[in-house]
Amino acid sequence: MITPHTDPAADLDAERLPASVGPGDSGVPAYRLPPEIVPIHYRLVLTPDLGSATFSGEVDIDIDVTEAVGSLTLNAAELDIPVAALSTEDDGSPRTPVSIAFDEAEERVTLTFSQPLPTGPATLHLEFSGVLNDKLHGFYRSTFTDEAGTEHVIATTQMEATDARRAFPCWDEPDRKATFDITLVVGEGLAAYSNGPAVEDTPEPGGGRRVRFGPTMKMSTYLVAFVVGPLEATEPVDVDGVPLRIVHAPGKAGLTPFALEVGAHALRFFTEYFALPYPADKLDLVAIPDFAFGAMENLGCVTFRESVLLVDPAQASRTELERVADVVCHEIAHMWFGDLVTMKWWNGIWLNEAFATFMEVLAVDAFRPEWHRWVSFGVEREAAMAVDGLHATRPVEFPVGRPEEAQGMFDVLTYQKGGSVLRMLEQFLGPDVFRDGIRSSLTTHSHANTETTDLWDALEAASGRPVRNIMTTWIDQGGYPLVRVGEDGSLTQVPFSYRDPAGGAIGTAWKVPVLTRSLRSDDTLPESLLLDGADGSPAGTAADRLVNAGGSGFYRVAYPAAFVEQLASSIGTLAPLERYNLVSDTWAAALSGQGPLGDLLRIARALVTSGEGDPSVWSVVLGAIGLWDRVIPDGDRSVLATAIRSLLGPLAVALGWDPRREDTERTPMLRASVLRTLGTVGADSDVRSEAARRFALAEDGTVPLQADTAAAVLDIVAAAGGRVEFDAYLARYRSPATPQEENRYLYALASFDDPELAHRAFDLALHEVRTQNAPFVLQSLVANRRTGPAVWQWITDDWDDVVERFPANIVPRMLDGVRTLCNPPSLADEVIAFVEGHPLPSGGRTVEQILERLAVNVAFGQREGGGLADLLREQLGTGTG
């Protein structure tokens, strides 16, 4: 979720030093709780006061004292604990500690007793209080405004990674699993939800209700959840004995059926795939108005941003529906892999998230096969490769000492790279063999904690392949290989890097599971080989064969020039993901200076000739155009616009603006992206006129915007729009029909080219927009070619206020927009100097990667920008523009 400010390599060295050992050199690292106390069961009672934004509570924790010690230490942060007592079987009365000492830096509290505690079972009683914070972590407050304009408050939780300690004192480490009985004391008219089903609901003498929930299975503290507020729940859907509900703000019940359908599918799909029953008694999917992440896999009580749970299929784009399906399936997959079986320590969190990413795509592909979800996942994989080809990349798994260091794993390398290498392994071993290994691992380790190697060993046993040796090369070092195909078909590998030579955290050699196939239509079955050319010597052969058959490999491929021409001329015979890889590998070569940019233009022409209709394949070309728009000299900008119209104009005419009978499920995504590029960078007057006409009709209530092209229309209108259009967008943002419409109009506010309007959007982000969204508005504003430099100056002027206002884990995401500030290079130099001179408290590695991507873009512009217009004229026949 958020990135550590320390270097993982440095962490490894520090972990080996005596300084990392706790008091007395006991062998326990200072960041770990002492092992002598084992939590068994929590009986937790919480009373939130939504009006005062505070809460009080008490907890009785059954523990096992394994050694006679004079004190016990557990986690607590931002809590007052005025009362503590310990009862044992031998005591006539509870023991009270002689001192309660807080360590704010370590987020701990130590209770010291006058006599050593006897070994055996005991019960620790604590009373505590805290504040419902506004930082979207721990036990925090969220708000929503109803249709009458009245604001309502919700108390909700986000415990991962180490914020349960902000809600109640606990042993807040993933391998300190326990069971939980949770009771919430709530005001009149408020609903309450937690991990278990409500088993008792009784009135309180002074008003309000006491809601007791059934006990949970043995689980980690980061999975505990409670939600209190004026919320409603759908009637439960019985999914083979599991009650499934959606919890939402009043008035949004009509936005729940799609997620219920996806949720029911996911429960059945994973129960069958894992060959294990769902591990909880019920499943509530809870929509939270203010939520820092996409969703959180709390056992039985999964919390979501509203926009990735509540959706009206009639008003949502295909992309928006896919996003909801993805997130719902991802979180439900966690009920088994993450909740039932959990990593021992935070270094293993990558596998939780990578595996859930893999399973999400697998489940959605089964839910809607016509969406071709593994093809669109290629775009996500490419996002990971864009980071993993940097010197500032990192290993997928690295040693984690202090828990906050694990925050560096919540990024594209964990989710997308991790999910991609699992897919590569699945395709190499075979889907059935892979599934059998997963089933074995989950069954063996149910209700327990594991290391990454436990999974590799299970897959190795199921397949007979050296899985541990293969996967170690992908997980324990950063980067990925470029597989070179020789004239004789020999295969060799070298590290791929956007900056020559490869260095930093990029590894040196991989055991590459390679699938190849013939290009002959009568011989398409893939053959597998394991490329292990650690010394760079040839290994394997692929004469006249397509390498990375099926497209699931996490590596790039470089063919001899003649074979590239052959592939380009027969590109229509390749599968969509194979075509995607050919285009993305060609663009990566050009961006890194390892191949001519003209190759990409030749392939783009081949896509037009072959009638390419896959939006993922085209997304590579459209993304490249976005960078060209940054680096081309202003005097040549008309040449670029003309080239875009020449390349995309006929495709746009063929696609039209409205759905056609011959459309596939993926056509709407292509239509939107092509029209957006034509109407913005291409400055196509016909496209702009039609977008303006459709927007006007929508504004006067005549014809609503078609969902799949709505966001594109808004961006096109904004590109030439002014104050009237901005005010219309703002009004629709403030009174949206759906969460998706709210996001469309919000982020479109960043697309206006007028500096005055950009400043209004900047002020809105700082003072009105929810803190979960505002950093992404600023990111988009910075990425606006015309107003981005000015917005960046405003951000730097208000830097301290900006950093203070937003949750620390999201601020690095705001900076992602600066990688587009590559022209002139002097601007990039100023950005780098400022960011390096103002380090963030977290997210250091992510920021390093953003700045390196900025440097890569600068280098590309210096290398290609001056000659880009001539190349476009030569390759696309655009004349003088």
Catalytic (active-site) positions: 331
* One-letter amino acid for residue 624 of the chain: A
Q: What is the DSSP string of 574-627?
A: S-HHHHHHHHHHHHHHHHTTSS-HHHHHHHHHHHHHHT---HHHHHHHHHHHHH
> At which residue do the structure tokens 């009006």 appear?
51
Q: Which residues contact 276 (CB under 8 A, 6 or more apart)?
A: 336, 340, 439, 442, 443, 446
Using only the alpha carbons of the chain, give its radius of gyration: 28
C-alpha distances out from residue 521 to 517, 545, 606, 658, Å: 10, 12, 20, 35
Q: In what order do the strands lie in the sheet with 512-518?
A: 527-531, 512-518, 545-547
Consecutive H or E run containing 780: helix 774-782
Q: Which structure tokens are listed for 752?
A: 């206006």
Please name the residue ranges forming H helices in 338-494.
349-367, 373-388, 412, 418-429, 431-445, 452-463, 467-475
| Measured torsion, CA atoms of residues 607, 612, 616, 621, in degrees rounded to the nearest 10 | 20
Contact 420, 20 (CB under 8 A): no
Among 17, 439, 508, 409, residue whose Cα is nearest residue 270: 439
The answer to whether residues 84 and 28 touch, using CB atoms and an 8 Å cutoff, is no
**Residue 436 burial (CB count, 10 A):** 18
CA distances from 313 to 205, 310, 656 (A): 45, 10, 22
SS3 710: helix
DSSP 375-412: HHHHHHHHHHHHHHTSTT---SS----SGGGGGGGSSH
With 0-12 CB in 10 A as exposed, 13-18 as middle and 19+ as buried, what is 498? buried
Q: Collapse the DSSP code of 58 into the 3-class scheme (helix H, G, I; strand E, B; otherwise coil) and give the result.
A: strand
Q: What are phi and psi of 208, to 5 degrees?
A: 90, -170
DSSP 345: S
- Residue 386: CB partners within 8 Å, gap ≥ 6? 853
387 to 12, 383, 423, 872: CA distances (angstroms):
22, 7, 19, 28
What CA–CA distance (Å, rounded) separates 303 from 292?
A: 11
Beta strands 512-518 and 527-531 are: antiparallel
